[in-house]
Amino acid sequence: MSLLEVSDLHVKVADREILNGVNLEVNPGEIHAIMGPNGSGKSTLTNTIAGQEGYIVETGDLRLNRTNLLELEPEERSYAGLFLAFQYPVEIPGVTNMEFLKTAVDSHRKQRGDTALSSVEFIKNMRALVTKLDFNPEFLKRGVNESFSGGEKKRNEILQMLCLDPKVALLDETDSGLDIDALQVVAKGINEFRNSNNAVVLVTHYQRLLNHVVPDYVHVLLNGTIVKSGDASLALDLERKGYAWLEQDTGP
Amino acid sequence: MPIRGFRPLSLYFHSVFNNKIYNNNARNYMSNNIAHTPEELIRKEYTAGFVTDIETETLPPGLSEEVVREISRKKAEPEWLTEWRLDALRRWEKMEEPTWAHVKFPPIDYQAISYFAAPKGDKPKSLDEIDPELLRTYEKLGIPLHEQKVLAGVDEEPSQPRVAVDAVFDSVSITTTFKETLKEHGVVFCSFSEAVQSRPDLIKKYLGSVVPKQDNFYAALNSAVFSDGSFVYVPKGVRCPMELSTYFRINAENTGQFERTLIIADEGSYVSYLEGCTAPMRDENQLHAAVVELIALDDAQIKYSTVQNWYPGDENGVGGIYNFVTKRGTCRGARSHISWTQVETGSAITWKYPSVILRGDDSIGEFYSVALTNNRQQADTGTKMTHIGRNTKSTIISKGISAGHSSNAYRGLVRMNPGARNARNYTQCDSLLIGSECAAHTFPYIESRRQDAIVEHEATTTRVSDDQLFMCRQRGIEPEKAVSMIVNGFCRDIFRELPMEFAVEASKLLEVSLEGAVG
Amino acid sequence: MVGAGHRPLAEAVFHMTSQPVKIAPWLDAKQIEQTIENTRLPQQRKDPWKYTSVKQVLQRLDSPFEKTDQLPNHNGSGVLVGDFGTPMISSLARKYVNQIANNSNNVLPSLNLLRAQHGYAIVSNESNDSVRPAVQIPASDSCERILIVVQEQANLEIMEHTSGGNRVIECLILPGGQLVHRRIQPTTTHVEYNSLTVNVMENSSYQMMQYSVGAQLRRNDIVINIEGEGATVDVSGGWKLSDISHLDTQLAVNHRAKGSTSQQKFHGVVGDSARAVFNGRIYIARNAPKTDAHLQNKNIATSDGAAIFTKPELEIYADDVVCSHGATSGQLDEQQIFYLRTRGIPDDRSRELILEGFLAEIVEHEEGASVLGIQPRKVDAP
């Protein structure tokens, strides 16, 4: 049974059609990569799946574990097991990372009928996670993404992912703007996270993350539809040849 | 706290105009969850709005020499103080109400206000003599009048700091706790009326020395008719062993409250003072015009914290307190230190500028403020830092949050006088807007007459952004919780300055005040 | 509100004459006087005249002005310069003079109209980017009224000099128009008053630079109204004041349409017993969401007699905005001076260099640099 199912998704943003019929099926244990040039609709796809306001689904279906995501609020999609690592993580001044994560984890636990973790227990868990990922523990005391560097913001997204342990993680250009060390930390986090019960969807521009996290499938998104799917070797082809040859294939 | 129809306001309007569109947002087609008017989204509960049913002795409305003499007579004041009041009245009669503040209200009829209201009977000598109805009032408000209790009920562990309370009900102080314990340390903490009798030397020396009676319209009015308030004297070298606190309660109808607080910290002493205020929900506006004077001598420190929760009026702006207050401290001595911390969520109109005159060399003035306005509330608040002495330093951090149809203005003045060698000021002034019907303003005056003085002012205006909300929700945090978390984060720098018990209370107060404010 | 209390001040120093408006005879002087009667008059020592004597400005306006009829020079086609009676101009003049600067909070433009000796308009029709018309508004110590109209999609560059006069400029930038306005304010021993009101329509842009040095008293009132979507306003400038000179700049940018941006950036150096007053205001109306507005004012005092009064104001009625302001007042950074001295630059020269750098941040034009006495920054050095 598939974990995430996107069927014939048509999405408009500000009266412009951005996605016109995207289909995607992600099964447990799989890693998918979605590649495509700027403006092809990659972020529209991830934002729509997560329920961002202003993305208007005209037709199509979105299901996670058979649950219709379109009927759910963003937080309810989160409870259903969906995680989005933001391309541009948002700053929340004055709210510490620790407080933010605990509030999120407690909300999830409450939803499942579990009691909230004690602060001591939570801090213990977080310390363990932070150490495992070679993060500076100071990280947890700072405001959410407040004056974080680009790399720190992206690492923070990975930390949140591990903390909330979703069924499907969408990573929107988590690799962009990272130096090689940060890229490896992010890759390590993703490999740490994946198992046979969950799935990862990587949205990326470049092949380089895929050297560290090998996808089972690569899809090319162009002008709002997936024009080609293949295995990891497709990413290498794209790296070499760019997107123009595909554009010609699908030309008007 | 039930969450009904909780959605961003923009989304609300979006759905009104686009209800045919199949939007990628669940609530838009789950119509039973939609709030039907924006007003429904902006609700607010005021929990201190009850009225105490108690027999009150009230002077008939009106202001005249006779009324002033009567107040003075009731308090058996010495002749000089009666004359002082009358002089203030004469000056007030010649003054005009200030119009420069960014607030609007119908003219106040000063002859329609009663200038004195007190529970009937003599002042009780002990707790047992206090009318049980009054005791219940303070119990309901969570204010401990029994000495074994402390604020916010965290008294289980004996190691917890205790708080001494002066309870002012309408025009009079009804009791002051821990007086004996404080006396052992030489600290005088009592009602103002009592101090006039017991420490006339200090009253005569310091009354009006920081806020002269003709200082401004409301201060002059207060000087003429002030009824009661708190008095604190901390002797040389004494660190006050507990937090001191005054709890102001307006109960009577058509009555103004005009209290006067005077705190003197003698050389090398320290005192932390808290002030809280509430009033019943009434349809009429009530006037509160207080004066607070602080004096810090050499090496003394005064920390003055306020959690102001006067009744703000209803969602249509009916009723509520007009809070026109003059608060000022003088760092008279070298190395003295005065800090004002305020969390303001109440009052229909706030007109208030707790200030510091930095006269002593190396003295420090601080102002930390959170002012939240919702519904039709209007606030014009800020501070004045007047640098006179050398190496004086001041810090101003102001956080304004506007929601509903409210208006929230910061007004500040930083003045570096020619003698203020190496003086420093840093000001940060941030506004957070919630909803599209509110307003936020910043009017910072900077006046520097000194080359080596450094003044820095920064201000920003932001909103709780849809992106912040969305990210929190993506992580599973419900919108109402997310907003309260974001607002608390915005105010963090200020809450850090509050005594612990008050910080918790202040944070809760913000949550209640914001209830339903963010759609 | 007309407070009777402050009327006598104006009446004592400004005398109504009930003579026709010389430069714009179609206007009814009686009606203008009536407007003045009904307008709130400025009060001494109250905002916006808290730090500058309005009395001196009114007295100057009430004294006789030199007559002048000097029209600005300009460089060719696409631009029209002439007095208000000139064909092609008169209809615009009738439409806009006393309309753009018709501000219920400021009575001075109306008073200017009653006393103006000289009035003219500058109209640009030129929409060719490569031939931007340039017009020089000459210095004058007369009482003048100027109308500037930038037609749709047209360009214009103004170089203005002020010197001790009373000048009111009304300016309209129609959709898509672009105006670059440089204002040079050299030393003068007069009391000078300038009022500038600019209405900026959609997708148009207004860029202004103002460079000032000493005057006995110089007051600049600048109001920029953004009335159209997507407009951009960029105002910058600087001052270097010495002796007992007094400069007061009151600048308001009013955002009245959505999606517009504005920048205000002023640096000032104040020495001797000079006084600098700056009031920068950002106003964002409820119907102006998606506004991006920033203001920065930095001051350095170089003597103990110098006085700096600055007030950066925000008045915001829309929530979806990005807004910030900042103001500083201080002295030269001793660390910086020390650094330069360790490199062998003498103390005096170090101070000069740092001040020059501070002013150079806001100077982009040769003449602006020279009036402030600094070298312009070489942007494209070979």
Please spell the DSSP secondary structure of B6-75, one letter per residue: ---HHHHHHHHH-TTS--S-GGGG-GGG--SSHHHH-----TT-------EEEPPS---HHHHHHHHHHT
Residue B471 in any domain: the answer is yes
Chain C residues whose beta carbon lies within 8 Å of the beta carbon of residue B447:
307-309
Q: Which of these CATH numbers, 3.40.50.150, 3.40.50.300, 1.10.730.10, 1.10.10.10, describes A4-89+167-185+195-250?
A: 3.40.50.300
Once rounded to an integer, what is the mean pLDDT over residues C137-153? 95
Considering the domain architecture, whether residues B20 and B138 belong to the same structural domain is answered as no
Give me the residues paired with residue A20 across strands.
A10
Taking an 8 Å cut-off on Cβ atoms, the answer to whether C329 and B431 are in contact is no
Residue B220 has pLDDT above 70, yes or no: yes
Considering the domain architecture, whether residues B248 and B370 belong to the same structural domain is answered as yes
More confident residue, C209 or B53: C209
Once rounded to an integer, what is the mean pLDDT over residues C302-307? 93
Once rounded to an integer, what is the mean pLDDT over residues B474-498? 87
Considering the domain architecture, whether residues B20 and B126 belong to the same structural domain is answered as no
Note the pLDDT of residue B149. 44
Residue written as token pair 């939803």: A111
Note the pLDDT of residue C84. 95
Residue C295 has pLDDT above 80, yes or no: yes
Q: Which of C303, C320, C326 sits opposite B457 (nearest CB)?
A: C326
The C-alpha angle with vertex C346 and arms to C344 and C349, in degrees rounded to 5, equals 120
- How many distinct structural domains can be found in chain B? 2
Q: What confidence tier does C165 reach under pLDDT thresholds 50, 70, 90?
A: very high
Residue pLDDT, tens place only, C318-363: 888 889 999 999 998 888 888 777 787 888 888 888 898 899 889 8
Residue B67 has pLDDT above 50, yes or no: yes
CA dihedral B110, B116, B117, B123 (to 10 degrees): 170
State whether residue A90 is helix, strand or coil: coil
Interface test mutation site (partner A, options B11, B21, B25, B32, max chain A beta carbons within 10 A): B25
- Average per-residue pLDDT in chain B? 82
Residue B201 in any domain: the answer is yes
Which chains does chain B touch, 3 or more C-beta pairs < 8 A?
A, C
What's phi and psi for B38, nearest 5 deg? -60, -30
- Average per-residue pLDDT in chain C? 89
Taking an 8 Å cut-off on Cβ atoms, the answer to whether B468 and A92 are in contact is yes
State whether residue C269 is helix, strand or coil: strand
Residue B226 in any domain: the answer is yes
Chain C residues whose beta carbon lies within 8 Å of the beta carbon of residue B458:
324-326
Percentage of residues in chain B having pLDDT higher than 70: 84
Q: Residue A108 carries which DSSP code? A: H
Q: How many CB atoms lie within 10 A of CB A183?
A: 20
Note the pLDDT of residue C158. 96
CA distance B447 to chain C (A): 4
Interface test mutation site (partner B, options C324, C329, C332, max chain B beta carbons within 10 A): C329
Q: How many CB atoms lie within 10 A of CB C2?
A: 11
With beta carbons less than 8 A apart as the criterion, state whether A25 and A5 touch: yes
Return the beta strands (E) in B266-354 as ranges: 270-278, 285-288, 291-296, 301-308, 320-331, 337-344, 349-352
* B-C Cβ pairs (cutoff 8 Å, strict): 111
Q: Which of B22, B468, B485 sits opposite A103 (nearest CB)?
A: B485
Residue B236 in any domain: the answer is yes
Residue pLDDT, tens place only, B273-292: 988 877 777 778 888 999 99
Q: Which of C47, C307, C330 sits opposite B455 (nearest CB)?
A: C330
Note the pLDDT of residue C3. 39
With beta carbons less than 8 A apart as the criterion, state whether B437 and B405 touch: yes
Question: What count of residues does chain B have?
Answer: 519
Once rounded to an integer, what is the mean pLDDT over residues B66-70? 94
Taking an 8 Å cut-off on Cβ atoms, the answer to whether C286 and B443 are in contact is no
Note the pLDDT of residue B14. 26
Which chains does chain A touch, 3 or more C-beta pairs < 8 A?
B
| Rg of chain A in Å (alpha carbons) | 18
Residue B51 in any domain: the answer is no
Any chain B CB within 8 A of the CB of A184? Answer: no
- Average per-residue pLDDT in chain A? 89
**Single-letter residue type at B160:** Q
Give me the residues paired with residue B431 across strands.
B400, B461
Residue B354 in any domain: the answer is yes
What is the rounded distance in angstroms from the CA atom of residue C286 to the CA atom of residue C272?
44
Is the torsion defined by CA of B219, B224, B229, B234 positive or negative? Answer: positive
Note the pLDDT of residue C333. 85
Burial code (b: 16+ CB inside 10 Å, e: under 16) for B10-21 equals bbbebbeeeeee
What is the rounded distance in angstroms from the CA atom of residue B22 to the CA atom of residue A89?
28
Considering the domain architecture, whether residues B171 and B276 belong to the same structural domain is answered as yes
With beta carbons less than 8 A apart as the criterion, state whether A26 and A79 touch: no
CA distance C336 to chain B (A): 15
Any chain B CB within 8 A of the CB of C311? Answer: yes
Note the pLDDT of residue C242. 95
State whether residue B79 is helix, strand or coil: helix
Q: Which of B23, B476, B488 sits opposite A107 (nearest CB)?
A: B476
CA distances from B447 to B326, B337, C79, C302 (A): 21, 22, 44, 15
Residue C156 has pLDDT above 50, yes or no: yes
Residue numbers of the domain that contains B16: 9-41
Residue B154 in any domain: the answer is no
Note the pLDDT of residue B336. 98
Taking an 8 Å cut-off on Cβ atoms, the answer to whether B454 and C329 are in contact is yes
With beta carbons less than 8 A apart as the criterion, state whether C116 and C109 touch: no
Residue B155 in any domain: the answer is no
Where are the alpha helices (H) located in A86-231, listed in sequence order?
A: 97-112, 119-132, 150-164, 180-193
Note the pLDDT of residue B138. 75
Residue B157 has pLDDT above 50, yes or no: no
CA distance C299 to chain B (A): 10
Any chain C CB within 8 A of the CB of B66? Answer: no
Residue pLDDT, tens place only, A118-131: 888 888 888 888 88
Once rounded to an integer, what is the mean pLDDT over residues B106-131? 80
Q: Which helix (H) or strand (E) holds B445?
A: strand B439-448
Considering the domain architecture, whether residues B19 and B91 belong to the same structural domain is answered as no
Q: Residue B280 carries which DSSP code? A: -
The C-alpha angle with vertex B300 and arms to B299 and B304, in degrees rounded to 5, equals 145
With beta carbons less than 8 A apart as the criterion, state whether B288 and B230 touch: no
Any chain C CB within 8 A of the CB of B462? Answer: yes
Residue C43 has pLDDT above 80, yes or no: yes
Taking an 8 Å cut-off on Cβ atoms, the answer to whether A78 and B473 are in contact is yes
Residue pLDDT, tens place only, A185-236: 889 999 999 999 999 999 988 888 898 999 999 999 999 999 999 998 998 8
Chain B residues whose beta carbon lies within 8 Å of the beta carbon of residue C283:
none
Residue pLDDT, tens place only, B245-283: 888 777 777 778 898 999 999 999 999 998 887 777 777
Nearest chain B residue to C287, by CA: B436
Residue A109 has pLDDT above 80, yes or no: yes
Residue written as token pair 């205000």: C264
Is the torsion defined by CA of B10, B16, B22, B26 positive or negative? Answer: positive
Considering the domain architecture, whether residues B175 and B238 belong to the same structural domain is answered as yes
Q: Which of B434, B441, B454 sits opposite C316 (nearest CB)?
A: B441
Considering the domain architecture, whether residues B16 and B134 belong to the same structural domain is answered as no
Q: At what angle do helices B79-93 and B65-74 cross, to 10 degrees?
A: 150
CA distance B273 to chain A (A): 26
Domain segments of chain A as ranges: 4-89+167-185+195-250
Nearest chain A residue to B478, by CA: A75
Q: At what angle do helices B479-495 and B466-474 cross, to 10 degrees?
A: 110
Q: Which helix (H) or strand (E) holds B138?
A: helix B132-140
What is the rounded distance in angstroms from the CA atom of residue B172 to the CA atom of residue B37?
43
What is the rounded distance in angstroms from the CA atom of residue A139 to the CA atom of residue C312?
35
Considering the domain architecture, whether residues B129 and B276 belong to the same structural domain is answered as yes
Considering the domain architecture, whether residues B33 and B85 belong to the same structural domain is answered as no
What is the rounded distance in angstroms from the CA atom of residue C219 to the CA atom of residue B494?
40
Residue pLDDT, tens place only, C218-263: 999 999 999 999 999 999 999 999 999 999 999 999 999 999 999 9
Query: Which of C235, C332, C337 has the alpha carbon at shortest distance from C281?
Result: C235
Residue A69 has pLDDT above 90, yes or no: yes
CA distances from B325 to B26, B216, B395, C202 (A): 48, 10, 21, 45
Any chain B CB within 8 A of the CB of A207? Answer: no
Residue written as token pair 């030199």: C66
What's phi and psi for B172, nearest 5 deg? -130, 155
Q: Which helix (H) or strand (E) holds B206?
A: helix B200-206
Q: Which of C289, C306, C328 sits opposite B455 (nearest CB)?
A: C328
Once rounded to an integer, what is the mean pLDDT over residues B289-310? 94
Q: How far is CA C195 from the centre of its chain?
A: 6
Interface test mutation site (partner B, options A15, A19, A43, A53, max chain B beta carbons within 10 A): A53
State whether residue A12 is helix, strand or coil: strand
With beta carbons less than 8 A apart as the criterion, state whether B48 and B281 touch: no
Any chain B CB within 8 A of the CB of A93? Answer: yes
Residue B178: which region, alpha, beta or left (left: phi > 0; alpha: psi -120 to 50)?
left
Any chain B CB within 8 A of the CB of C314? Answer: yes
Question: What count of residues does chain A have?
Answer: 252
What is the rounded distance in angstroms from the CA atom of residue B375 to the CA atom of residue B354?
24
Taking an 8 Å cut-off on Cβ atoms, the answer to whether B22 and A164 are in contact is no
